[in-house]
Amino acid sequence: MVTRTNRIHGLSKGALVPIMAFLASCQPLPDDPSSPDSADSITFESLGFDSDSFDLASTKERQLKVFEALFMGKDGYRIPGDPDPARLRAFFSDLRESYFLKAEGIDYALIKRQYHTFTHAMDVMITTHALLRSGGGVYLSPGEQAVLVLAALGHDAVHTGVNNTFLINSKHPYFIETGADSLQEKRSIRQVMALLEKHEILVVSEGMKKALQDEIIGARNLIEQSILWTDISRHKEQMNLVTALVPQLNDSLAKARGSDGEGATKGANAADLDLAMQIHSSLPEEARVLLASFFLHVADISNPGRDWDTCERWAGLVMNEFFSQGDLEKKLGLPVSMNCDREKVLVPFAQIGFGKFVIRDLYALLSQTLHFGGNYLLNNFEINQRKWQEIEEEVKASGKPYSIRFEPPSKDGGWLGR
Ligand SMILES: [Zn+2]
């Protein structure tokens, strides 16, 4: 676990190991849930790329602490309209519940929903926050940053544990009702919007100032768009649009920094956050929404860019979930979806392929808009990719298949067993 060290700017992880071991022997670990001060150590500033989401999402109390640190602290995100804390807590509780629902007509004796849990939602929320704090915040208004982090928490609400292809091929009632395009993403949006409505958050009311009304309308649009863009089938389309936007972003950055851009760092850094006002107001709303959606998409598939243990753990969970879908597809006589056939798919091979065709370009593009954030994920990714290659070679040489380490999230974190 790397979390115990908050941010590790400038220090290699290798260098930290002996220091951490020494500290661990002298005092209770701050992230140990049994430690009395562990909840207090969850702050807006301490949540970052190296946070351990499995630990932070391990109990309902800790989950709420994370949410409070992000949205209710002195320096936390402010949602347009400034909803009171009681409303926000009630919204959080309902949103959390929607990750525990079972979809009609899905055989949960077979489907192992280990990946699309509330722990994943928490992980994506924390990573989105980390991307914003590493510099991404410069491109968005304060209200837009707040609702993007909220969208991250809701982006997989009411997820079924099977993918869109399964719902379409099995002619599931959700497909009949919602249609084929971004099926599950649209259902998550509907759920988030209904809960916002229920708790009167981001709701336009009469007597509200025009500027606030406009901000709320923009915020709701950002939530919808950013969740829609988490549909992996739109990955290429998004990559092309963001690539075309990069020169304009770096131009805005250079102007705000008062330089001509020559020799300057490409992509924003945490140090640029002071210039946020100047930069985000120089970008059109459409560009801001696209970029916000890009950050959420990155956060959603950021597991390959974490430390190896975290990367391998999430990879195991997602492959287990996929394989359980493959089992159900075989039972129902449906075509087995990509990466879902446990008889044919080799885990290291699938991870290497996903890295090569999706992740590497995604993180490289991120590094052009976010200098530290992008390079952090990219460096870890390259290390992990080599690890998968070593494992693949071992598997080939020994003839023994790779066995998945099964470490699901906690019950409070959304793992319902089976
Ligand atoms: Zn997701």
Which pair of tokens denotes residue 102? 């079972």
Quote the CA–CA distance of 116 and 320 in Å, as a whole number: 11
CA dihedral over 173, 177, 183, 186, signed as positive or negative: negative
**What's the CA-to-centroid distance between 408 and ligand 1, angstroms?**
16
Main-chain phi, psi angles of 351, to 5 degrees: -70, -40
DSSP 261: S
Q: Tell the residue number behind the tokens 């410069």, with chain if given.
A: 138
Domains present along the chain, CATH in parentheses: 60-398 (1.10.1300.10)
Q: Which residues contact 168 (CB under 8 A, 6 or more apart)?
A: 175, 180, 183
Quote the CA–CA distance of 306 and 308 in Å, as a whole number: 6
pLDDT band for position 38 (50/70/90)? low
Query: Quick one: angle between helices 360-369 and 285-300, nearest 10?
Result: 140
**What's the CA-to-centroid distance between 118 and ligand 1, angstroms?**
10
**What's the CA-to-centroid distance between 117 and ligand 1, angstroms?**
9
Is 30:41 a contact under the CB 8 Å cutoff? yes
**What's the CA-to-centroid distance between 318 and ligand 1, angstroms?**
11
pLDDT digits (tens, 9 = 90+) for 299-342: 999 999 999 999 999 999 999 999 999 999 999 999 999 999 99
**What's the CA-to-centroid distance between 323 and ligand 1, angstroms?**
17
pLDDT of residue 24: 38
Quote the CA–CA distance of 100 and 286 in Å, as a whole number: 34
**What's the CA-to-centroid distance between 122 and ligand 1, angstroms?**
10
**What's the CA-to-centroid distance between 123 and ligand 1, angstroms?**
9
User: In 270-359, which residue ranges form alpha helices assigned H by DSSP?
Assistant: 276-280, 285-300, 308-332, 347-354
**What's the CA-to-centroid distance between 10 and ligand 1, angstroms?**
30
What is the pLDDT of the chain when averaged over all its residues?
A: 90
DSSP 199: T
pLDDT digits (tens, 9 = 90+) for 162-211: 999 999 999 999 999 999 999 999 999 999 999 999 999 999 999 999 99
Is 204:217 a contact under the CB 8 Å cutoff? yes
**What's the CA-to-centroid distance between 116 and ligand 1, angstroms?**
7
**What's the CA-to-centroid distance between 26 and ligand 1, angstroms?**
38
**What's the CA-to-centroid distance between 52 and ligand 1, angstroms?**
17
**What's the CA-to-centroid distance between 192 and ligand 1, angstroms?**
14
pLDDT digits (tens, 9 = 90+) for 393-414: 999 999 999 999 889 999 999 9
pLDDT digits (tens, 9 = 90+) for 61-102: 999 999 999 999 888 999 999 999 999 999 999 999 999 999
**What's the CA-to-centroid distance between 242 and ligand 1, angstroms?**
20
**What's the CA-to-centroid distance between 245 and ligand 1, angstroms?**
24
**What's the CA-to-centroid distance between 82 and ligand 1, angstroms?**
27
pLDDT band for position 40 (50/70/90)? low
**What's the CA-to-centroid distance between 162 and ligand 1, angstroms?**
12
Quote the CA–CA distance of 167 and 172 in Å, as a whole number: 5
